[in-house]
Chains A and B, each alone.
Chain A
Amino acid sequence: QQPVQSPQAVILREGEDAVINCSSSKALYSVHWYRQKHGEAPVFLMILLKGGEQKGHEKISASFNEKKQQSSLYLTASQLSYSGTYFCAPGYYGGSQGNLIFGKGTKLSVKP
């Protein structure tokens, strides 16, 4: 049930855009997105809920395609501070309590 993230890594220049994809083999109720910087804990970015409600970050957006069972995270006009590893974690309705199953992550490097 581990989601598949793509790409595994991406290198950007400041100001460029990036898209990170997260695919699930099961029907999704929600998708959680986190960013983790080296040596730090994962930081919550946003959660997308079935039905379109999105809660979270102001400068980073995401989409949720229920039919395709996938979500995409959009980082526009990237800044150096966007560097880190991005994880998605799908939420399955009725799924196990307190257990987020994280993808392997997408490492994003933003260069000046």
Chain B
Amino acid sequence: KAGVTQTPRYLIKTRGQQVTLSCSPISGHRSVSWYQQTPGQGLQFLFEYFSETQRNKGNFPGRFSGRQFSNSRSEMNVSTLELGDSALYLCASSDVGTSWADTQYFGPGTRLTVL
């Protein structure tokens, strides 16, 4: 099976702009989780989607949003970019997203740099 894919791999934006990142999960997986990784804060959960519904959301401002399509592909959007949004954005797919028993497989990530 093909792994999780994310596009684009690298992005450079300026403050105030918005950005959309895309994630295609492993075939058959219905849950997609998004994480932000920075050197200072580590891996932090953004949100999780299952069957086109957001089931869970982390502690991030409303500028961070996402959605999932009927084919389980997911996008996340960050509006009004700030310098602190520079990070590696990772998506992870799993079968049903049961965090205590299901395995999450990560994509290669999108490296976002905000200037």
Q: A-side interface residues toward B, CB under 8 Å?
A: 29-30, 32, 34, 40-44, 47, 49, 55, 87, 91-102, 104-105
A–B pairs, 20, beta carbons within 8 Å? A29-B100, A32-B104, A41-B90, A42-B43, A44-B103, A44-B104, A92-B100, A93-B100, A94-B100, A95-B99, A98-B45, A98-B49, A98-B104, A99-B33, A99-B99, A100-B43, A100-B45, A100-B104, A102-B42, A104-B42
Q: B-side interface residues toward A, CB under 8 Å?
A: 31-33, 42-43, 45, 48-50, 55-56, 58, 90, 92, 94, 97-101, 103-109
Which residues in A have their C-beta under 8 angstroms from that of B97? 97-98
CB distance from B33 to the nearest CB of A (A): 4
Which residues in B have their C-beta under 8 angstroms from that of A104? 42
CB distance from A4 to the nearest CB of B (A): 13
Bound CA span A101–B104, Å: 12
- Known A-B contacts A41-B109, A97-B56; the reply to A49 vs B101 at CB < 8 A is yes
